[in-house]
Structure 1
C-alpha cells in the first residue's frame, strides 16, 4: 500500500473497479466502460448511481462537484443519430460535457462478477449453498512460469500470490518451485542486476510455476515484473485445457428456513427496501430454494426450474412469462428493477478499499437521487 496519496485519473479508477468486474465479463450486446469523458481526467469525487441517464442524477453531480459518475445502467446504449440540445437526452449530454463530468458504466460485467450485483442480492436473502443460475462462461486458466534468483524468490512468490495467482479451489498461493542454474551474457547497452557486460554469468535460480486466470493475468504479470530484480525477466505463459471458475448471470441457493410465499415476499420487501412487490403463485405455498437475478430476468425462469428453485426473484416480469412459469409450478416475486440500487454501498466499500490500497485520493459516495420511475396508488 502506498503511503503517499495521489490524485487518480478516470482510467485508474476504472482499472480498480475492473479488478472485480472486468469488461470481458460483459454480455456481447452490452455497452460498458467509459461512455462520456476523458480517461486522463483527474478525479477528486466519484458518485455511484444505478442510473446515469437521469437528469436528477446529473444535476446532483453538478451540484456536488462530481468528476466521475459510475453507473450500472448506460448513458449511451443505442447509437446516437443526432445530438440536439433541445431534446431531453441531448440536454443531459450537454450538461455532462459542459461540466466535464465523466460517465463510466459497469452493467452485465458487474452482474456476473464474483461479489457483484447478484451475489449481493443473494446475500441480502441469506441464501446458502449459492451457485450460478445460468453459466455464461468459465475463466480460462493458464500456467505462468518464471525464473527468479534465489535472493528474490520469496519476494516474487509473495507478489504472485497476493495479486491472485495460484488459486486452486479454496487454496491460494499455490506454486511449484524447482532449483536450477541460470546462465546469461549481458550485452552492450545493458545494466544487469547481476554480472558484467560480455561475461558469462551463472546464477542459482528457482523455476516458479503457478496458475493464473485470464481475468487477472495482466495484473499478476505486472506485479511479478515489479518484484523481480532482473532488467529482462524470463517467463512463459502456457494455455491450459482445464476450466476455471464458473461465471454467469443470477444466483440460486437455499433459504435458512422454509417460508410461505407470502412470508418470503415480505422478507424480500424488507431486505431489498421496497414497499411493494408483485407475486406469482399461491400465497400459502412453501418455498425454500430461491433463484434471484437483478434487473430484468424473466426469460431465465426455465433455468430457475432446472436448478430446482421454488421461487424466482427478478424484476419487470411480463404477463405471459408469469403465466408460463406458474403453469410449470414456479412461484415468482417481482420487487422491481430499481432494487439493484441496494448494491451501491457494497460497490462503494470495495472501491474505497481499492483506492486506499493504491494510494489514490478520491472521495466515493452514493447518489441520493431516487431514479425509480414507478409509484403505486
Structure 2
C-alpha cells in the first residue's frame, strides 16, 4: 500500500520538526496537495524546471526539497514567467512540493550533522554555532494501579521519556491510595458504578523533552488500564537541549588546510573549494554550516574552531576572518546536495518499517548554477 502524502510529511516532520525552523522560513507544503497516495517521491536540493521534468519522467507525485520555490507572498502567477511556468507544470502534473529547510539544518541527525560527519568532525563534544531552538523539558507524572506500574513505566521509557543527559530509564515513584467513584455510563477497569473505590496506586514521574512529549503521553495512555487516566504535565525551569545552526567540534583526523580542502571536495562532491589562509596551517578543530554561513565565522572561532566550512563567503567577510586568524573553506551553497541521498535513505527506512510501498529516490539533477570558465 502506498503512503498517503500526510504520512510522508509527518515522517519528514519527525526528522525535522517544523518548530526548529528559524522565524519566517518558508517550509512545509508549498504547492499541490498531500491528500493523495504517494507512489514515488523525489528528493531534491532545489526545484528547477529540470527537476520538475525529472519528477514527471520518474512518475513522482511529490518533490521534497530543501530550498523553497515560493519565498514571499505572490501578487500573481504569470505562467509566461520562469517561476509561473514552473508552478504551472507542477500543478498540471499533480506534483506536490514540500520544503524542509532550516528545520532540517537545525535538527539532530539533519543537514549540519550529515555535513559534520562527512568532514570527520567528532560527534562527541559537537556543538551548534547559533542557538535556534531549545528542546524544553517537562515532567510527566501519572497515577497507576500498583500491578500495572511497570508496564506503564516501560511504555514511557520506550517512547523516549526518562532520559537525563547520558542516563536513560530514569524515573521516580511514590506509593499511595487513589479514590474514585464511577458514574453512570462508565465502564471502569476497577470497581462498579456508583460505588466509591479505594485503590493502591503508584505515582510515576519522568522527565520528557518537548520533542517527545506527545509520543510519550500517547504511549502512557495506551499502556494504562484506566478508562480515565489522571496525569500531570509540568514545564520545568531547567534548560533543555539547545539546537541550532552549524556544527563545531574536534576533527577525528587533524589536517592541514590543504588536506582539509581535499577532504571537503571529496565529501561534498565539488570540483573546487575557495580557501583563505596558509595551506600548511594545522587544523584540529573545525566548524561547518550548510548554505550561506559567512557571517558565522566569529561564532565558529568562539567555539574553538580554527576553520569554517560554509558557502557563499563574500570578499569582506573573507578579509575580516583572515585578519582574525580564522581559516575559511567555501565549497559553495550546492554542497548541501548531501541531503538528497540522506533524506531518501531515512524516509525509505521509515516507510519500510510501516510496510508502505512508496518509493523514495534522490534527484540526479545537478542544480549547481556556477561553472568554471
| 1:96-111 matched pairs, under 5 angstroms | 96-111=90-105
Could you tell me which runs of 5 or more consecutive residues in structure 2 were left unpaired when the two chains were aligned: none
Structure 2 equivalent of residue 72 of structure 1: 66
2:173 corresponds to: 177
Show the counterpart of 1:91: 85
Larger displacement relative to structure 2 (345-354 or 245-254): 345-354
Q: Does 1:130 align with 2:130?
A: no
C-alpha distance in 2 between matches for 1:154 and 1:39 = 40
Aligned-partner SS, 2:127: strand
SS of 1:130 mapped into structure 2: coil
Which stretch of the first structure deviates more once superposed, 286-295 or 226-235? Answer: 226-235
Higher relative strand content: 1
C-alpha change, 1:266 and 1:356, in structure 2 (3 Å) is same
Q: The residue matched to 2:192 in structure 1 has which SS?
A: coil
User: Partners in 1 of 2:204 and 2:349 — Cα distance?
Assistant: 30
Which residue in 1 is equivalent to 2:54? 60
Question: What does residue range 1-377 of structure 1 map to in structure 2 within 5 Å?
Answer: 6-52=1-47, 54-128=48-122, 129-377=125-373
Distance in 2 (CA, whole Å) between partners of 1:244 and 1:300 is 23
Give 4+ residue runs of structure 1 displaced > 4 Å after superposition. Answer: none
Partners of 1:100 and 1:42 in 2: how far apart? 12
Cα deviation code 1:25-76 (max 9, x no counterpart): 1000311111122233222222211113x11111111121212211111121
Q: Partners of 1:172 and 1:142 in 2: how far apart?
A: 15
The answer (yes or no) to whether the contact 1:19–1:216 under 8 Å persists in 2 is no
* Alpha-carbon shift at residue 213 of structure 1 (Å): 1.3
CA change 1:148–1:38 in 2 (3 A) is farther
> How many residues of Structure 1 are paired with residues of Structure 2 in the alignment?
371
When normalised by structure 1's length, the TM-score is 0.94
Q: Which moved more, 1:37-46 or 1:309-318?
A: 37-46
Structure 1: which 5+ residue stretches go unaligned?
1-5
Would the alpha carbon gap of residues 148 and 353 (structure 1) be closer, same or farther in structure 2, given more than 3 Å must change? farther
* Partner SS, residue 131 of structure 1: coil
**8 Å CA contact 2:120, 2:253 repeated in 1:** no
Secondary structure (helix, strand or coil) at the match of 1:224 reads helix
